[in-house]
Structure 1
């Protein structure tokens, strides 16, 4: 495994055209549990095509769902970076929404390596992607942090040292979001068909006692909880969401999100109550409009 930081940072962005339909959006919302309590609240703004609104985290799967056919095999084709896919972990995710996402549309997605940090035994690769609509104006910008084991030691900057801190007071809100036993099977239809999320034998070989939920599913579940419980169901009020993936969540478990408010900023910490508060998402913040 080799990392040429200068080559990675100086490479031209890769550009692709993506598209999605209302069916993709509906499936994404259903895979996050929308409408699961339909007799009490069918969440029609998320589950019915008329007046459909789009959760911001749909940006993470746009262009990869049922309207796109069979998703391609996972790859990490990055200039200057030659690493084993089996040695990488999705370490963190940031998303900034520039304007409300349409329920159906097309976009130009430009992706580049924004930073590479040398952590000694590992490297952290920050891959930044910006989607622009047909009018050329940006829709969203995402930054994925990839932890590449065995790729460090190339003599680079170790990057910023961050430590999670939550306010020294009780959270303003605690959101409990249950998941179902089929949650990962639904979520993978958004495009991530990794057998880790479906095949018990594969999961055991990877060190888990059963299939795990996608990290981006936990990310989406927290987004949905924030929109539903703090923002009066108005998805357009959530402008940014940043997290570190701290531990697995298994289908059927609950993600408990503690929220501390500070004006238009939220501090978040997500855990699994069924496993004594095991961390799921940490170093988490969100930005909202009042």
Structure 2
């Protein structure tokens, strides 16, 4: 079997060094739609180096976003990339992320779950600099055709949205060229730029990066419910339940919950709010 679960989980972690600069942070923020209106002080915190703060989801692309590539090339993992879907993502930040720096990045396959017709790889990455831990990311990759090996199914991550009106709803239009800008942060998958490749994998046109939508949603929560203070975010998790197309409007619905949590859903307005992100939670101070 292409995935040897026992070998993948028991393999030694791999360690590399990440570096980033303020322009990498600015490029990431622009790639998730920040900077509109361009002179708005609230937006300048994402785009102007003298006022810059770092949205925690930047951790998914810092240093070029190597977590997925490292996980899919780990010992015991040999899969067809056409069978791989990014199923979910979480980020836990241990302190506010600096606008530039160098960090030791450690990655490993934390778990392999058997979903019957598919396997789910859970890839864990930790980053730390000279001052200590910075973030922990978990990336969940759904690999079609690789289940049925007798492993544990793993925990369910599906939850229902609250049965009441959301506390806030915001619409975030996306530009048609947004994935062309976002991919400059390190995700060069042609699915997001090449129409012919998109058709080969079953889409009539390129789709928006899931992690781009992920960043858009977190920024909406920070700007709407957290007073624009990125340092208040402690963790953020989401399931990629559908796709978004460049040029669509994303409707972000938010519910405040006990325990300093915000429940979130994201849907595509032009397709009757077809689900894009579900089972999404932001924990904050």
Q: TM-score range by the shorter chain?
A: over 0.9
Structure 2, unmatched stretches of 5+, are none
Alignment of 1:68-79 (within 5 A): 74=69, 76-79=72-75
Residues 38 and 202 of structure 1: is their aligned pair in 2 closer, same or farther, counting only changes over 3 Å? same
For 1:60 and 1:223, the matched residues in 2 are separated by: 13
Could you state the TM-score of these two structures normalised by the residue count of structure 2?
A: 0.95
- Given that 1:119 and 1:153 are in contact with CA atoms closer than 8 Å, whether structure 2 keeps it comes out as yes
Q: Secondary structure at the match of 2:191?
A: helix
* 1:32 paired residue number: 32
For 1:155 and 1:223, the matched residues in 2 are separated by: 36
Could you state the TM-score of these two structures normalised by the residue count of structure 1?
A: 0.93
Alignment of 1:225-264 (within 5 A): 225-263=220-258, 264=260
- Given that 2:42 and 2:228 are in contact with CA atoms closer than 8 Å, whether structure 1 keeps it comes out as no
Deviations 1:230-257 (A, max 9, x none): 1111110111110110111111111111
Q: Secondary structure at the match of 1:46?
A: helix
Work out whether 1:166 is the aligned partner of 2:161: yes
Structure 1, unmatched stretches of 5+, are 66-70
**4+ aligned runs moved over 6 Å, structure 1:** none
Q: Give the CA deviation at 1:166.
A: 1.4
RMSD of aligned alpha carbons? 1.8
* 2:5 paired residue number: 5
Q: Give the CA deviation at 1:36.
A: 2.3
For 2:130 and 2:39, the matched residues in 1 are separated by: 39
Residues 83 and 186 of structure 1: is their aligned pair in 2 closer, same or farther, counting only changes over 3 Å? same
Residues 254 and 41 of structure 1: is their aligned pair in 2 closer, same or farther, counting only changes over 3 Å? farther
For 1:39 and 1:50, the matched residues in 2 are separated by: 14
Residues 112 and 198 of structure 1: is their aligned pair in 2 closer, same or farther, counting only changes over 3 Å? same
Number of residue pairs matched? 283
For 1:162 and 1:44, the matched residues in 2 are separated by: 35
